[in-house]
Amino acid sequence: MDPQALWNDAIRLSPPTVHDIDTITACCQEPSIGRWTTMPVPYQRADAEKFVYDIVTAGWAGRSPTWALRLGEGAPVVGMIGLGPSETRRDDASSEIGFWMSPAVRGRGLMTQAVNLVCRAAFDPAWLGLERIEWRAIAGNHASAAVARRAGFHYEGLLRGGCVQRGVRRDSWIAGRLFTDPPGPATDWPAGV
């Protein structure tokens, strides 16, 4: 699959490159990113190199694209978003979305815009033609849940021990968006999630 950029008036999503390794490393020093992801902690430059060379390149060669979130063409990385095989994936018509964002640009709705751009592209039958995109987060990650809810993902439940983070089994939340779901906010989320 050929890499492609996605954009709107506020953000640009483009594949991360070797030129982004130092910025990715710097962003991933933020404790909240490590707290809610499965990435290595502490995050080293070698981790960013492995991510760019092994995960991003292999992902674009398959059906697991990753984009760097930027505030304009050629701007530094301020977040990351990607699609990958879901834990429950049984076919090529479903995927799991994951993302993180630098605290410096949080609270502006940028990640919700990024999720909507990725979903629109992924559901396009001329590109990936997905029928379902799944979101998972470690239980308690209310910021990620807010993004998923605003982007039209419907809450599907709590998975007890649903993920492993650096060797520790943790509960996780799960939500899904089907290609037939409207892109606006989902209203079926329980209080407290």
Q: Which domains does the chain have, with CATH numbers?
A: 6-133 (3.40.630.30)
Backbone angles phi, psi at 49, to 5 degrees: -60, -45
pLDDT band at 182 (very low <50, low <70, confident <90, very high): confident
Q: What is the pLDDT of residues 39-95, one digit of tens each?
A: 999 999 999 999 999 999 999 999 999 999 999 999 999 999 999 987 666 788 999
Which class for 66: exposed (0-12), middle (13-18), buried (19 or more C-beta within 10 A)? buried
Residue 10 clears pLDDT 90, i.e. is over it: yes
Residue 154: its pLDDT value, please? 98
Residue 146: its pLDDT value, please? 98
Residue 59: its pLDDT value, please? 95
Helix axes 142-150, 110-123, angle to 10 degrees: 50
Rg (CA), the chain: 16
Q: Which residues of 24-35 are buried (b: 16+ CB within 10 A; e: fewer)?
A: bbebbeeeebbe
Quote the pTM value: 0.96
Q: What is the pLDDT of residues 101-135, one digit of tens each?
A: 999 999 999 999 999 999 999 999 999 999 999 99
Residue 111: its pLDDT value, please? 98
